[in-house]
């Protein structure tokens, strides 16, 4: 029998760890708090080292907490990151998303900065400031920056943050053997979707939705070993999913992947979800990286990267690009399906729609259709936010109203 | 070039858009030669490199069209607007055609139309006894943000 209002609004009959209140996806105040409590103290992937290969190469990145950043390789080859904000009158210093700049010069009044964040020129400095202000007073704001875990540039905008290695803990152990060789980004695109950023990360944290993907049903779900893939939770909200053998040749037009990945069995597939919104996804021939940049409670910009090996021959690279495009490219079969699903969640789940609860109640021994990946995320979310995800506005609804038999 | 030839080439480009708009893949492939090749490419200023987003021969396109109905897709129709800009002689019986392309998407509920993508069609057209056929099409996209995306190639 369908539910009435009281029944619909009453909490699910699961333990409180097994569902979340949909206001975690829709509430403005919660969203503002997430930027401060989740994103500001976390390590975030800004780009990959291959995007800034030469000295003076730079790449811009808008940090999920809102800060515009420049990631730049110095004359000494070291990668550093700075606010892309001119200390003079607050202009954007670099405008193009990537480039090579020996001097980073603000167009407004031509103050100039080097790749170490020093101000090296103030136009008519003496005349205007006499001895009251000088270049040393006009340095850029530097943020913590490390190249790690497959050559990715990790940023932290909080000075006294937890070290990156401690933040990641053992979550990358499953992937590190496959990321020893230098990689290269061959694909980049952004998708702006009207949905909450966590709904994207949730989708990357549960495989039950393989039912959404015809490709995965055919090449994965119907194949031996599928139900043995397991989730492993790690400290700080990260989780990994182990491999199975994907039978790519079961999908018409696809074939057993011709280029593999060093040390990995053909058809292998590993995933690592990093709190609060990044995913490493290594599927035989391609590593995909998602970085979620929330723009509002119901809007997210996702950056997608596809990587191959730096040493790829032309033919190998072509095959990786082909494999990537088939499922993960902007016209790929799986990506559109995933985006369509979270777009649908955004339609049904924003202020005022009447959406109340999201179930995360499946238990299957931490195997592939268990929803433990999401539960683990929301345990960390609740800890960091100081609000339980099942009751984030602390209304204390507790006893479920059961539907009449 | 004779005006009838130019007319036939333009009509081929426009018919290819009409067929794809109607998701009439049989009609679309009927406009393509046996060795037809289709690609979507774009330049990424972020990576400062060229990207290929789709790359299929005729068989690959046929398979893609067969597979698409098995997938979950956005059902809102898209409308391709092409304008043939230049037609220039290529090798032998081939001509190179550059057209402007705009793709609009219309929501099923309420019918609001939004600009979805802009770019260019770089087509190689082969002129033979049975008229003009598409030998190669490269959709050169300017737009790189496609929201929740689309399954059917532009
Ligand atoms: S605002 Fe940058 S130089 Fe004045
Ligand atoms: Fe998916």
Q: Given this model, what pLDDT does residue A251 score?
A: 82
CATH number at residue A102: 2.102.10.10
Supply A99's token pair: 């480039």
Q: Given this model, what pLDDT does residue B144 score?
A: 98
A260 inside domain: yes
Q: Given this model, what pLDDT does residue A405 score?
A: 42
Which among A97, A192, A253 has CB closest to B63? A253
A222 inside domain: yes
A324 inside domain: yes
For the entire predicted model, the pTM comes to 0.96
Supply A266's token pair: 């053909």
Q: Given this model, what pLDDT does residue A394 score?
A: 86
Which among B47, B52, B145 has CB closest to A51? B47
Contact check, Cβ <8 Å, B72/A59: no
| A295 neighbors A192 (Cβ within 8 angstroms) | yes
CA of residue A117 to ligand 1 center, whole Å: 15
Per the omega criterion (within 30 degrees of 0), is the bond before A121 cis?
Answer: no
- For ligand 1, atom 4: residue with the closest CA: A109
Contact check, Cβ <8 Å, B144/A190: yes
Domain that holds residue A143: 44-149
Give which of A51, A189, A301 to mutate to test B binding, by max B Cβ within 10 Å. A189
A348 inside domain: yes
* Same-domain status, A125 and A220: no
For the ranges A110-114, A330-334, A397-401, which has the lowest average pLDDT? A397-401
Select from A303, A286, A175, A181 the least CA-distant residue to A239: A175
Length of chain A: 405
* Same-domain status, A315 and A205: yes
* Same-domain status, A266 and A346: yes
Q: Say if residue A13's pLDDT is above 90.
A: yes
A272 inside domain: yes
Q: Say if residue A45's pLDDT is above 60.
A: yes
Q: Given this model, what pLDDT does residue A126 score?
A: 97
- For ligand 1, atom 3: residue with the closest CA: A109
A14 inside domain: no
| Total number of domains constituting chain A | 2
pLDDT bracket for residue A402 (50, 70, 90): low
Give the span between the Cα atoms of A165 and A163, in whole angstroms.
6
Residue with tokens 């929201």: B147
Least distant ligand from the CA of A205: 2
Average pLDDT value over all residues in chain B: 97
* Same-domain status, A222 and A115: no
* ipTM of the complex as predicted: 0.97
Residues B71-88 pLDDT 10s:
999 999 999 999 999 999
A395 inside domain: no
Compute how many other C-beta atoms are within 10 angstroms of the C-beta atom of residue B100: 13
CATH number at residue A211: 3.90.380.10
* Same-domain status, A118 and A188: no
Spell A147-180 as b/e; 16+ CB within 10 A means b. bbbbbbbbbbbeeebeebeebbeebbebbeebbe
Q: Given this model, what pLDDT does residue B103 score?
A: 98
* Same-domain status, A175 and A145: no
* Same-domain status, A251 and A368: yes
pLDDT average, residue stretch A73-96: 98
A309 inside domain: yes
The residue of chain B with its CA nearest to that of A215 is B71
pLDDT bracket for residue B142 (50, 70, 90): very high
A215 φ, ψ (degrees, to nearest 5): -60, -45
- A138-141's contacts with Cβ under 8 Å and 24+ in sequence apart are A138/A87, A138/A88, A138/A111, A139/A87, A139/A113, A140/A82, A140/A83, A140/A87, A140/A93, A140/A113, A141/A82, A141/A83, A141/A85, A141/A87, A141/A117
* Same-domain status, A287 and A349: yes
pLDDT bracket for residue A398 (50, 70, 90): low
| A61 neighbors A71 (Cβ within 8 angstroms) | yes
CA of residue A105 to ligand 1 center, whole Å: 9
CA A6 to chain centroid: 37
All residues with CB under 5 Å from ion ligand 2: A 338
Residues B20-54 pLDDT 10s:
999 999 999 999 999 999 999 999 999 999 999 99
The residue of chain A with its CA nearest to that of B143 is A189
CA of residue A110 to ligand 1 center, whole Å: 6
For the ranges A222-226, B93-97, B144-148, which has the lowest average pLDDT? A222-226
Q: Which residues contact B99 (CB under 8 A, 6 or more apart)?
A: B13, B82, B83, B84, B85, B120, B121, B123
Give the span between the Cα atoms of B67 and B71, in whole angstroms.
7
* Same-domain status, A337 and A238: yes
pLDDT average, residue stretch A54-62: 98
Query: Three-state DSSP class for A378?
Result: helix
CA of residue A209 to ligand 2 center, whole Å: 6
Average pLDDT value over all residues in chain A: 95
d(CA A36, nearest CA chain B) in Å: 27
Q: Which residues form the pocket of ligand 1, taking CB atoms under 6 Å from any ligand atom?
A: A 86, 88-89, 91, 106, 108-109, 111
Residues A265-318 pLDDT 10s:
888 899 999 999 999 999 989 999 999 999 999 999 999 999 999 999 999 999
CA of residue A123 to ligand 1 center, whole Å: 10
Q: Which residues contact B101 (CB under 8 A, 6 or more apart)?
A: B80, B81, B82, B117, B118, B119, B120, B121, B139, B154
* Same-domain status, A290 and A363: yes
Least distant ligand from the CA of A121: 1
CATH architecture of B3-141: Roll (3.10)
Q: Given this model, what pLDDT does residue A401 score?
A: 57
Strands (E), A234-324: 239-241, 269-274, 278-283, 286-296, 299-309
Q: List B101's β-bridge partners, or say none.
A: B82, B119
Which among B40, B45, B63 has CB closest to A97? B45
Supply A279's token pair: 């995913």
The residue of chain A with its CA nearest to that of B59 is A253
Q: Which residues from B are below 8 Å from A153, CB to CB?
A: none
Contact check, Cβ <8 Å, B150/A336: yes
Name the residue of A85, A89, A137 to mutate for ligand 1: max ligand atoms within 8 A of Cβ. A89
Q: Given this model, what pLDDT does residue A228 score?
A: 87
Compute how many other C-beta atoms are within 10 angstroms of the C-beta atom of residue A102: 11
Strands (E), A149-196: 152-156, 183-193
Select from A32, A306, A84, A288 the least CA-distant residue to A175: A288
Least distant ligand from the CA of A288: 2
CA of residue A112 to ligand 1 center, whole Å: 9
Q: Given this model, what pLDDT does residue A253 score?
A: 82
Give which of B42, B47, B114 to mutate to test A binding, by max A Cβ within 10 Å. B47
Give the span between the Cα atoms of A71 and A73, in whole angstroms.
7
- For ligand 1, atom 1: residue with the closest CA: A89
Which among A186, A253, A339 has CB closest to B67? A253
DSSP string, A298-318: TEEEEEEEEEEETT--HHHHH
Q: Given this model, what pLDDT does residue A159 score?
A: 97
Q: Given this model, what pLDDT does residue A400 score?
A: 58
Which among A188, A214, A252 has CB closest to B47? A188
Residues A242-268 pLDDT 10s:
887 778 788 888 877 779 999 998 888
Least distant ligand from the CA of A204: 2
d(CA B4, nearest CA chain A) in Å: 36
Q: Which residues from B are below 8 Å from A322, CB to CB?
A: 55
Residues A105-125 pLDDT 10s:
999 999 999 999 999 999 999
Residues A132-169 pLDDT 10s:
999 999 999 999 999 999 999 999 999 999 999 999 99
Length of chain B: 154
């Amino acid at each position: 029998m369908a539910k009435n209002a009281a029944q619909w609004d009453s909490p699910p009959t699961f333990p409180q760890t097994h569902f979340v209140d949909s206001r975690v996806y829709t509430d403005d105040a919660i969203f503002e708090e997430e930027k401060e409590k989740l994103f500001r103290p976390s390590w975030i992937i800004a780009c990959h080292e291959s995007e800034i290969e030469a000295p003076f190469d730079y790449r811009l990145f808008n940090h999920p907490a809102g800060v515009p950043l420049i990631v730049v390789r110095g004359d000494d080859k070291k990668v550093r990151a700075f606010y892309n904000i001119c200390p003079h009158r607050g202009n954007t210093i670099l405008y193009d998303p990537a480039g090579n700049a020996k001097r980073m010069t603000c167009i407004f009044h031509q103050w100039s900065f080097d790749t170490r964040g020093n101000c090296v020129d103030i136009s008519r400095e003496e005349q205007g400031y006499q001895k009251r202000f000088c270049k040393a007073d006009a340095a850029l704001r530097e943020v913590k920056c490390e190249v790690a875990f497959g050559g990715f540039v990790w940023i932290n905008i909080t000075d006294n943050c937890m070290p990156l290695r401690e933040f990641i803990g053992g979550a990358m152990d499953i992937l590190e053997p496959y990321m020893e060789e230098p990689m290269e980004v061959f694909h980049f695109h952004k998708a702006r979707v009207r949905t909450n950023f966590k709904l994207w990360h949730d989708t990357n944290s549960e495989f039950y939705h393989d039912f959404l993907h015809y490709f995965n049903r055919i090449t994965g779900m119907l194949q031996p070993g599928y139900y043995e893939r397991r989730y492993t939770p790690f400290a700080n909200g990260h989780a990994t999913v182990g491999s199975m053998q994907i039978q790519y040749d079961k999908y018409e037009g696809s074939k057993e992947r011709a280029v593999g990945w060093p040390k990995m069995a053909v058809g292998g597939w590993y995933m690592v979800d990093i709190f609060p919104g990044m995913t490493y996804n290594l599927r035989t021939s391609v590593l995909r990286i998602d970085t979620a940049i929330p723009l509002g409670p119901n809007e997210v910009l996702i950056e997608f990267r596809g990587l191959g090996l730096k040493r790829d021959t032309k033919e190998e690279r072509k095959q990786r690009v082909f494999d990537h495009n088939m499922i993960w490219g902007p016209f790929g079969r799986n990506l559109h399906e995933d985006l369509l699903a979270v777009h649908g969640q955004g339609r049904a789940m924003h202020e005022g729609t009447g959406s109340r609860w999201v179930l995360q109640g499946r238990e299957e021994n931490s195997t592939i259709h268990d929803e433990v990946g999401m539960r683990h995320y929301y345990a960390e979310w609740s800890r960091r936010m100081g609000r339980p995800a099942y009751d984030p506005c602390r209304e204390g609804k507790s006893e479920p109203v059961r539907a009449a038999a | 070039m004779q005006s009838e030839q130019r007319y036939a080439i333009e009509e081929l480009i426009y018919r290819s858009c009409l067929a794809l708009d109607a998701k009439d893949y049989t009609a679309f492939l009927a406009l393509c030669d046996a060795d037809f090749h289709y690609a979507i490419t774009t330049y990424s200023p972020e990576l400062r490199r060229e990207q290929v987003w789709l790359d299929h021969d005729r068989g690959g396109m046929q398979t893609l069209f067969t597979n698409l109905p098995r997938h979950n897709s956005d059902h809102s129709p898209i409308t391709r607007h092409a304008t043939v800009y230049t037609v220039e002689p290529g090798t032998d019986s081939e001509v190179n055609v550059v057209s402007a392309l705009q793709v609009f998407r219309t929501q099923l509920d309420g019918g609001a139309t939004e600009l979805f993508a802009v770019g260019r069609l770089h087509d190689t057209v082969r002129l033979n006894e049975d008229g003009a056929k598409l030998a190669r099409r490269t959709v050169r996209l300017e737009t790189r943000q496609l929201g929740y995306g689309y399954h059917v190639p532009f």
